Chains A and B, each alone.
Chain A
């Protein structure tokens, strides 16, 4: 599904990702953990196609295509979805208008007919139930005045609507109460399947109790410095990142 090789990325002349490699197979769930400022959001943003990042080297392949060559909307149409660490408030653009445009643009891209108003509404109602959001949120401006938790739920709702093949969830669990966490996890798990992959960026083992990952990676200083299974997350929870930095330092 996704193959990142030796990716090097700079922001404002400062190198953030420094030879990062990561392979995510179809149907797999990967968790990425790592200290603040290590480059996790940078990675997620570069994969989704946000401007302002300078790719110095390396490749990102998605379903065999050179992802870095595609415009962000085309990446979305191809099935990439980013749940933002800080979802953006967009006054004056209704949530439902955004979803309708996004969904139908993807359908056109795939050569499918646009959903008519009725089918669209049916789908919206089905998916919004999944994240237990009130329907009034559909008609509110995108994220405007939403609480932190509501914003995160809205990200998952959008993901559920767009049914991406690769979801990047950037700290979607941060700031959620325990009930909301379960709802968000439920949303992700309902999408989990043979042909969909998920990358979870998180600081907390807690989320991984609900969404059990196939792999856990540690990103530090712009690279994946350690990979393992879900037990790695438990060890990080117990011991922090110090031991990795030491072993990485020792190896260097």
Chain B
């Protein structure tokens, strides 16, 4: 899994690619989000378009990131989950918790 952060004014987009699974992807996701929260970033978009799948550890870390962001007064939103990831978000009802966007400009403008 790879995570690259891009800053657009007050919003940060993190492009994630690969798979978010136990022992690697979940840790990289946690580290990437924690680094942004520590820098004081408040508006974060996780771009999931390049993520092929996640397992329970990856999904669990996504929820953990959401909670940590909220504790720091920050907001985490999701962009473009691929087919499998979208299925998992629906299955777990996490699509009811997260704001999910199809279009990056719309996501950026939503903060």
- The finding on whether chains A and B are genuine partners in a shared complex, rather than unrelated, reads no
Interface residues of A (CB under 8 A from B): none
Interface residues of B (CB under 8 A from A): none
